[in-house]
Amino acid sequence: MLLKMLTVIAGILASTGVASLASAQVHHALWQELLSKHVNQGKVQYKGLLAERTTLQRYLTQLENTDLQQKSREEQMAFWINAYNAAVIGGVLNHWPVQSVKEVKKFFDSRDYKIAGEPKSLNEIEKHLRRFGDPRIHFALVCASQSCPALVNAPYQGDSLDRQLDSQAKKFLRDPQKGLRIDRGKKILWISKIFQWHEEDFVQNGIKNPSDLITAVGIFLDEDVRQEVKKNPYQIRYLDYDWRLND
């Protein structure tokens, strides 16, 4: 009789969307729905998302009520990457219309999001992810700007995370407008400011020269670029960062 009562109560809680932090599961179906409808080749259709803010809020509420203690390292990383990207979009919609996140005071520093039971700012989510020690996260976190990595139209998942991060790293570094551009005439290697902001995530003592960069991310570069930089005395310069909205 007791078991039957508990089953009925659990069904009621599930149907009303009420769940305890301990029992909540990581589901990204709502995020998948939004991404597949409103993200195309990295461009975000914010006006379309405005009409579906309720769906986005439902997803953010799921993230708020998720217990990660029993999750694998990969599941946790995927969770926090998805949380960051969804929260960024939520932040843009909360201040719509904007042309750039730079228009919003403390966009990255305000604790506007409750994730996994704790209030977090976007910078705190990024800092938490950096503790996993995988610099590829910087190719997956999307700050709603033109120079950010492109937002993919599928959630990150624990069982495919390594492949997804490798794919993102290759796409970003092979984009001459965002990741890396080589000037063979002037022997200059233009790279994203992401490497400047987070250089110690890629190389312990920071990126001082092209060989440091090759050591850090060379496997994601085309072979001709690797060989060119290895054989010739290149200098590193940083690309201007375009903060205009990624729409």
Residue 220, helix vs strand vs coil: helix
Handedness of CA 200, 203, 204, 206 (dihedral sign): negative
How distant, in Å, are the alpha carbons of 14, 20, 22 from that of 8?
Answer: 10, 16, 19
Q: Which band of pLDDT confidence, cut at 50, 70 and 90, is reported for residue 205?
A: confident
Two structure tokens written together for 6 = 């508990």
What average pLDDT does this structure show over 37-47? 97
Residue 118, helix vs strand vs coil: strand
Say what the pTM is. Answer: 0.89
Provide the β-strand partners of residue 235.
Answer: 188
pLDDT of residue 127: 98
The enclosing H or E element of 170 equals helix 161-173
The enclosing H or E element of 213 equals helix 210-217
Domain range summary for the chain, segments of one domain joined by +: 25-171, 180-238
pLDDT at 132 > cutoff 90: yes
pLDDT at 2 > cutoff 90: no
Cα 144 to chain centroid, rounded: 10
pLDDT at 193 > cutoff 90: yes
Q: Which band of pLDDT confidence, cut at 50, 70 and 90, is reported for residue 26?
A: low
pLDDT at 16 > cutoff 90: no
What average pLDDT does this structure show over 26-50? 95
pLDDT of residue 106: 97
